[in-house]
Amino acid sequence: MIGKWTGTYKYLSNRIPEEIRNRETKFDIEIIEFDGNAFTGTVQDDLETGGMKGVGKIVGKINNGIVEFVKEMPIQSVYMPDGSKIEEEKPHRKIYYSGKISDNQIEGIWKFKFGIGKVNNRLVIFPRSKGTWKMKKNVL
Of 119 and 134, the structure prediction assigns the larger pLDDT to 134
Out of 55-59, 68-72, 122-126, pick the least confident: 122-126
Q: What is the pLDDT of residue 97?
A: 98
Query: What pLDDT does 127 receive?
Result: 82
Phi first, then psi: what are they for 19, rounded to 5°?
-65, -30
Query: Where are the alpha helices (H) located in the chain, listed in sequence order?
Result: 18-21
CATH of domain 3-137: 2.40.128.120
Q: Which amino acid is at 23?
A: R
Residue 17 has pLDDT above 90, yes or no: no
pLDDT of residue 16: 75
- pLDDT tens across 24-49, in order? 999 999 999 999 999 999 999 999 99
pTM comes to 0.92
**Average pLDDT score, the chain:** 93
Provide the Cα torsion 61, 32, 8, 50; round to 10°: 120
Residue 24, Cα to own-chain centre: how many angstroms? 12
- The string of pLDDT tens digits covering residues 47-66 is 999 999 999 999 999 999 99
